Structure 1
Amino acid sequence: MSASSASAREVVISGLGVVSPIGIGIEPFWNSLASGKSGVARSEFFPGVASPDCVGGEVKDFTDEAARKIYLKELRKSLKAMCREIQLGVASAMLALKHAELNLDTVDHERLGIEFGANLMLSAPDILASAADACCGENHSKPFAFEDWGPKGLPRMEPLWLLRYLPNMPACHISITTDARGPTNSLTMDDASGNIVIGEAMRILLRGSADMMITGCTGTTLHPIKTLHMALFGDLASTPAEPEKRCRPFDLHRAGRVVGEGACTLLLEDRAHAERRGARIWGKVLGTGATCVSDKTGTPQFRKALASAMASALQAAGLRPDQIGHVNAHGLGTQAIDIAESQAIHDVFGADLGRKIPVTAPKSYLGNSGAGSGTLELAASVIGLQHGLIPPTLNYDTPDPACPLNVVRGEPLATSNKVVLSVNVTRFGQASATVVEAI
C-alpha cells in the first residue's frame, strides 16, 4: 500500500458497547452521566472485598441470570469458561456490534480483526481453597508443600480453571463468536490499555490490513485479591461515609482511589467501508500516544509520562492544544497522581489555557476498573458530545490550589468544540492518550 493511499484512510467509530456501573448500553450510561448519578456503592456481589466498607463501582445489572438470558445469550454454553471480567468484555463487544448494526453474514471475515485489553486476571480465594488445603496436610498440619501441588492440589482444580482467567480470552471468545479472521491481539497494560488498543487498531486500519477492528477493554479492581493489593498500596478512599462521594478527582479533600469494574468496546472502521454499508459514524480517531517514564530507581514519573503521552497524541493528530475542546482526565482521586496530572496538563496546554480548558473525570461515577477504564471514559465524552455536552465531574466541591484546572461540575457543559483528548496512566508510569473528534 502506498503512503498516499494510507494517509487517505480515516478511522471512525461506528459502534459503542458499554457495560458500566452506571448502566449497560449507551442510553442508561448517558442518562446517569447527565443526571449526576454515581455507580459507586457497597458491593452486593463481592462482600469479602478489602476496600473500605466494601465500596466500589459494581455493574449491578450484570447478574449471572442477565448474562445467560440477555447479554451473552448466544454464548451461554461458553460461560463456564469465562470469569466475570471476560464476560463483561465479551458482552460489551456484542453490544458494540449490535449498536453498529453490523450484519456478520455480509462482512469479509478475513478483514475483521480484534484488539482487546484486559488486566491480569486472578482467581478468587474460594477457587483455590480446596487445592491449597490438599497441600497443607490434614487439618493444615504443615506449611504449604509445593511438591504436593501436582499429585494432590491440581486434581482438585476445576478442569476449565486456566481458560477462565487468561487475559487473552476476551479476544478469543469474540473472535470465535464473530468468526473474525483478521489481525487479533490482546494487551495487558493496566489503566493505559484503552488508548493503546485504540492506537494499535488504528494503525492496522490505516495500513489497510483490515476494514473493521473490534476494539475494547475489560477490567476490574473490585476483586477479593485485587482489593487486598490495593489496600496494601495505602491509597483507597475511606471517606466520606457516603459511598457515592468517595471518588473525588482533583478535589481538595480527595482521599484516594475507588475500585470498580467495567468494560467498553468500540467498533473502529475504515471510513469508506463504514459509509459503503450505511453506518452511522460517532467519531473519528485523530491520533494516539503512549509512553512510560521512570527514574533510574524505577520510580514512576507520572507528570512526564502524562505530558509526553498527551503531546504525542496531539502530534499524531496534527493538532495544537488550543484546538482541543476538553480533556477527559485520568482523575484517579489520589493526592500525588491528581497533582501530577494537573501539572502535565499545564505542561502541554500552557499556564493560561491549562487553567481554562474544560476537564472531566468519569472515574467519579465509575471508580477505577483498571484496564476497563480507558475506553469507558472515552465513551463518556464521545456520547456526551453527540448532545453538544461535556459530562460533569462528581464530588468536585472544593478546588485544590495544587490542581488549578477548569473541572466541569454540577451540570453538563455545553460546547461546540467536539474534539476530546482522553488520557490514562498506570501506577508504574505508563501513560496513554487518544484524540477523537465526535461527529
Structure 2
Amino acid sequence: MPASSAQRVVITGIGVISPLGNTPDELLTGLRENKSGIAPFTQIPTDALPISNGAEANQFTGHISDYGPLEKTLQRTIRKGSKVMCREIEMGVAAAQLALHHGGHNPDDFDRDRTGVVYGCDYIMSLPEEYAEGIAACTTDGEFDFTKWGDLGLPKVNPLWLLKYLPNMPASHIAIYNDLRGPNNSITLREASAGAALSEAVSTISRGHADALVVGSTGSRVHTLRTLHASMQENLASDTEDPTQMSRPFDATRDGSVVGEGAGALLCESLEHAEKRGATIYGEIIACSSSAVGPAAGDQPARTGFANVLRGVIRSARENGSAESDGPVKVGHIHAHGLSDVDTDTCEAAAIADVFGFPEAQPPVTTAKGHLGNIGAGSGMVEMIASLQCLGSELFPIRNLNELDASCPIAAVTSNDRPAGDSFINLNITPQGQASAVWISKPR
C-alpha cells in the first residue's frame, strides 16, 4: 500500500562541510571538475605516522561565519558553546545550522515538540594535550607515577573535557541551540552512521512521532591519535609524490584508503508538513536498509553485507509502493562505498553484481572517496548530498580510476557525460561488517 503524505519523508534543507568546500554547489563543482581534497596534513604532526597526507576540510576554521547566517543571540550561544566542542562536533553542528538555514527553518512554522535531531557520529578520541599538564605533574625523571594521578594529575585536567568528545553531543548541541524538543537520537556506527541515522529518522517521522528532524553525521579521521590508530589497524594508501593520486577506488593499482574529515546534514520532514509550509523539496527518502555480517558468514562477509542492504532497500521500496513490485529495478545510479581498499572494493563490486547482474545491466556506479578519502561517520551523508545534487543531470566520474580491476565487475562512471537519473542508492560499511543503504529519489 502506498505511504500517505504524512508517512513519506522528504528533504527540504542541505548543509555540508567537506574537503572540497562548505556548500553543496562547491562540493559538486569540485567533484565534476576532478578536484581532490587530499593534500599534505596541516592539522596533525606526522613524525610517528607512515603517511603524511589526508583530506582535511581546510575551509572550515570553526569561526562563527562557518555556521551560516545566524541571529546575534545564536551566534553568541554557539561561540560560548565552542569551548566544549571538539572539531568533529563543531563540523557537525555547523552542517546542521547550514541545513536549517538552507531549508528556510522558521520556528513559527514548526512545532518545537515535534521537531528533533538524529545524528551519526563515531566515537571521538580526546587530544593528548588534554592530559599533558596532568601527566607532567606526575612525571619525575621521565617516569610516570600513576599513584600521583589522583592528587596531582587529575586536578590539571579541564573538568569539562569529556563534553568535548562525547558522540551524543552533536545532537545535543543542535537541539539546545535551536530549541528542538522532539525526538533526539545519536547513532555511532562508523561509516554506516549516516544511513542508519536516516533510517531512524524515516521510521520516526513515518510512524507519526515527529514532523521534522535534522538528520546528519560528522566524522574526522584526521586526528593525532585516530590517524595513528587507522595506520595500525587498516590498509591506508601509501604516500605518493602527488597525494591527489592516493585514493583509487576500484582501480587495479589501489592499495588502501585515505583518511578524511567532514560532515553533512539534511532537514527532513513529512511530505504533508513540507507542503503545508510551502517548503522547497529537494528529494525523497524512499527506502533504507541495514545489516551486520561478521566472519561467521564465510570468507567474504562484506560481500554478504553489501548484498543484504541492496536487497533490503529494494524490498522496502517495493513494499511501500515506491518501486515496481516485480521486474527490473530502476535506479538512477549507485553511490558506492568505494573505500579504495583492495578487499572491500572487491566485495562491494561482487555484491552489486550479485544483485543487479553484469555491468551492462547495472545502474552507473560512482563514488566520491577518490576525491574526499574516507570521512568516517561523515562519509555517507556527504556522499548522499553529492548524489542528491546530481539528480536530473550528469554524474561525476570516479577519480583516479584508470584501469578497472578485473575483480570489480561494475558499471563504473569514468566520464562526466553519464546521466545520474532520478534516484540513487548510497552504500557504506564498517570494518566490523555493519552496512547501510539508502535509496533517495527526486521529488515525486
Q: Quick one: which of 78, 82, 85 aligns to 1:79?
A: 82
- Note the C-alpha offset of 1:139: 2.7
CA gap of 1:50–1:117, structure 2 versus 1, over 3 A, is farther
Partner of 1:56: 54
Distance 2:389 2:67 in 1: 27
Partner of 2:14: 16
- Note the C-alpha offset of 1:6: 5.9
Alignment of 1:290-329 (within 5 A): 290-296=290-296, 301-318=301-318, 319=323, 322-329=329-336
Aligned-partner residue type, residue 419 of structure 1: S
Q: Quick one: which of 413, 422, 427 aligns to 1:418?
A: 422
2:344 paired with 1:340: no
- Note the C-alpha offset of 1:231: 0.9
- Note the C-alpha offset of 1:270: 0.4
Partner of 1:275: 275
CA gap of 1:396–1:219, structure 2 versus 1, over 3 A, is same
Identity %: 39
Distance 2:394 2:150 in 1: 57
Partner of 1:35: 33
Partner of 1:331: 338
Partner of 1:369: 375
Partner of 1:235: 235
Distance 1:69 1:15 in 2: 14
Aligned-partner residue type, residue 371 of structure 1: A
User: What TM-score comes out, normalization by structure 2 length?
Assistant: 0.92
Alignment of 1:52-131 (within 5 A): 52-65=50-63, 73-74=75-76, 75-131=78-134
Distance 1:51 1:260 in 2: 15
Which ranges of structure 1 fall in alignment gaps of 5 or more residues?
none
- Note the C-alpha offset of 1:233: 2.1
Aligned-partner residue type, residue 159 of structure 1: P
Which ranges of structure 2 fall in alignment gaps of 5 or more residues?
none
User: What TM-score comes out, normalization by structure 1 length?
Assistant: 0.93
Moved more, 29-38 or 64-73: 64-73
Aligned-partner residue type, residue 188 of structure 1: T
Q: Check conservation: 1:205, 1:211, Cα contact below 8 A.
A: yes
Q: Check conservation: 1:131, 1:153, Cα contact below 8 A.
A: yes
Moved more, 25-34 or 232-241: 232-241
Q: How many residues align?
A: 431
Partner of 2:384: 378
- Note the C-alpha offset of 1:236: 0.8
- Note the C-alpha offset of 1:5: 7.4
Partner of 1:405: 410
Aligned-partner residue type, residue 141 of structure 1: E
Q: Check conservation: 1:6, 1:207, Cα contact below 8 A.
A: no
Distance 1:68 1:411 in 2: 30
Distance 1:321 1:131 in 2: 63
Distance 2:269 2:5 in 1: 15
SS of 1:262's partner is strand
C-alpha RMSD of matched pairs (Å): 2.2
- Note the C-alpha offset of 1:420: 0.4
CA gap of 1:428–1:71, structure 2 versus 1, over 3 A, is farther
